[in-house]
Amino acid sequence: MSPVYFFLVWEISNASQRVRTDGAIRLVSFSFKTGRNFDELANSLINYRDSQAIPNSSPVAVSNKDYIEKFDIVWSAFKVGYRNIYRHWADTGYWLDESRAIKAQELSERGLTFLDKYEADMSPDGSLFCNRINEMLSDIYFQKDQLTEFSQSYFELDNRAAQEQQTSMGKLFTYIAVLGVSFLLMTAITIALVYKALKYAVQSLAKSMAAEQQAIDALKDLSESKDANVAQKQFFAAASHDLRQPLHALCLYIGSLQRHVKSDEAEHILKCANMSADSLSALLDSLLDISRLDAGITAVNKDEFEVADLVSRLHDRFLPEVEEKGLKFILYTDDSRVFTDEQLLDRMLQNLISNAVAYTQSGQIDLCCQRASDEVLIIVSDTGHGIPSEEHDVVFDEFYRVAGSARDRDRGLGLGLSIVKRLGDLLEASIALESREDVGTTITIKLPVANKLSLAADTNTTDTEFNPVKLQRGIPDNLRVLVIDDVEDVRESTALLLETKGCVVNAVASAEAATLLCSTKEFEPEVIVSDYRLNGSENGMDAIKSVRSAIGWQVPALLITGDTSINFATRREMVWFVVLYKPVDTRLLCERIALLARVSADS
């Protein structure tokens, strides 16, 4: 771009120079010059005339040829110079002004006439008379005036034209200069802008990279913290074993103490202590459930079963409590089957029912299961306080408790519904809440109905393992129970409790001791009660298995564990096998043992 620009400037500059030189000045200078030549000729003639000092009309000899040379110069100007210059003008196309051409032609012809007129007088040998000189001078002056007038007029004209041309050239120059400068400026600005934009781009790239890095870091932190969270919860879940252990022992001791208490006052105190232990146990259960659910380590073992069985068992279990409060407990069932984790559903319903019992002072509680198209609805309904509608959204949050229920502190931490919610999520069951203040609350759990095709496969084992137990007959007398627990405290308290219930107990600390005891036929247990975690790498399942193989038949067994995180997925491989979680409620323990005793007696 810039070479083109400079070429343009140079070319225009040259052109303007050429026009000025070629045009006005050449013409004008020629005219002036010719005028001056005439002047010189005149002066030369005057000098000649004066130097001769001759009288008028007398011939003089020519001794000075100076005027002849001057005449020749004029002659050459007209005859050669003018013709040539005229031709040059015609060639260059400058001579376009018609009036000027005519005038120049006229002057030229007049000059030629002058030259012809005096040609004869210019002989070196000839003579020149004074009057002839005077005549010549007058002609010369006329010629000179004509030329001067012509050159002056055109000098002005051309000068003006040249001036204008120069002005316009100057303007053109200015425009081009401005154009050039602005172009350069624009280029510079563009470069600057591009540079700046690039710089910004680089900067923002760096920024975005930094941001990305931060995001990655944050994500990493988050996942680490998530990991940490999970680790914490796993720790909590594992620690539950150690938390449950002493509480479990406490419950057992209280249970066995009951027999030795004679006075009413002491019995009252013991009853209070038992209640406190119960509620402590319940609270711990809730907390541990939550922690276990949050830790994401709760295994879901889905299976197909009849909802009515589960619901009836729950009805049986809660009936004493409900009747104690003077409430009616009404059960409706049909024969719907569901495919879900029975144990977890059991826990959901336990929570719902105990909530209903806790918050209902009068009226009734309905427990109902029924099929609605391809869903099974399990409904727990009460006539209790109800939940204000503005709190419907938060009832499933942790530690939510219905306003005004603070006095029922012993009823729980308000974890019940949040456990239900988590279990519901886990089982992919939807939970609907319907509640009106002072009218009551209805909670509906919706579960998908079981696939009929999978029915046949599992029905038999399920039925043989868990027959619906509707009547609690208590533990038969002299039931032989083998207790396996490595912790002496727990082993002794368990033994003590069972003995108070009329059992014949043999308590050992390890699987090895138990196997040894049974293989010698010294003691043939009818029910095995074992702790899950035993010394070293042994566990209760292995202990039960080895005892069973030593005895030679599938002795009904009860496994007690404080470790909520253990997945008893293999449970189904074993028959006559029940799991209880610490701290074990003594009543529940007795119920289970009674159940297992009946199985044992039947087989």
Partner 1 sequence: MRQFEQVTGEGSSIGLKLFVVLVIGCWVSASMALEPPKGEVLLKISGNIGVSNNGDEAWFDLEMLQALGVSEIRTESPWTEGMAHFKGVRITDVMEAVGAKGKSFEAQALDKYKVDFTGIDYRKYPIIIAWELNGELLTVRTLGPLWVMFPFSDHAEADTLQHRNASIWQLQQLKVN
The site for partner 1 (CB under 8 A) is made up of 18, 21-22, 33, 36-37, 40, 69, 72-73, 75-77, 79-81, 84, 87-88, 91
Residue holding tokens 């005028």?
35
Which residues is 376 bridged to in the sheet?
371, 447
Q: At what angle do helices 26-52 and 130-257 cross, to 10 degrees?
A: 150
Straight-line distance from the first to the last Cα atom of the chain, in angstroms, rounded to the nearest whole number: 109
Cβ closer to partner 1: 37 or 442? Answer: 37
* Three-state DSSP state, 373: coil
Q: How far apart are CA 340 and CA 448, in angstroms?
A: 9
| Residue 472 CB-half CA count within 13 A | 16
Q: How far apart are CA 495 and CA 508, in angstroms?
A: 10
> How many other C-beta atoms lie within 10 A of the C-beta of residue 341?
20
Cβ closer to partner 1: 22 or 489? Answer: 22
Gyration radius of the chain's alpha carbons: 65
Tell me how far, at minimum, the Cβ of 97 lies from partner 1, in Å.
21
Cβ closer to partner 1: 21 or 430? Answer: 21
Q: How far apart are CA 12 and CA 3, in angstroms?
A: 14
Cβ closer to partner 1: 150 or 359? Answer: 150
CA distances (Å), origin 136, targets 41, 108, 115, 506 = 10, 17, 10, 174
Cβ closer to partner 1: 85 or 297? Answer: 85
Cβ closer to partner 1: 22 or 538? Answer: 22
Tell me how far, at minimum, the Cβ of 156 lies from partner 1, in Å.
23
* Three-state DSSP state, 30: helix
Cβ closer to partner 1: 21 or 203? Answer: 21
Cβ closer to partner 1: 77 or 376? Answer: 77
One-letter amino acid of 355: N
What phi and psi, each to the nearest 5 degrees, are found at residue 528? -110, 130
Label residue 312 left, alpha or beta by phi (over 0 means left) and psi (-120 to 50 means alpha): alpha
| 448 close to 339: Cβ distance less than 8 angstroms | yes
The 364-372 sheet, strands edge to edge = 328-332, 364-372, 375-382, 440-448, 430-436
What phi and psi, each to the nearest 5 degrees, are found at residue 508? -125, 165
What phi and psi, each to the nearest 5 degrees, are found at residue 568? -90, 55
Cβ closer to partner 1: 37 or 351? Answer: 37
Tell me how far, at minimum, the Cβ of 205 lies from partner 1, in Å.
59
Locate 493 and state its tokens.
């308290």
Residues with Cβ within 8 Å of 379's Cβ and at least 6 positions away in sequence, in order, are 366, 367, 368, 369, 370, 442, 443, 444, 445
CA distances (Å), origin 351, targets 91, 331, 457 = 121, 17, 31
Cβ closer to partner 1: 40 or 306? Answer: 40
> How many other C-beta atoms lie within 10 A of the C-beta of residue 471?
8
Tell me how far, at minimum, the Cβ of 13 lies from partner 1, in Å.
14
DSSP 521: T
Tell me how far, at minimum, the Cβ of 75 lies from partner 1, in Å.
5
Cβ closer to partner 1: 41 or 555? Answer: 41
Residue holding tokens 């006095």?
407
| 422 close to 290: Cβ distance less than 8 angstroms | yes
Cβ closer to partner 1: 81 or 363? Answer: 81
Cβ closer to partner 1: 80 or 102? Answer: 80
Which residues is 340 bridged to in the sheet?
303
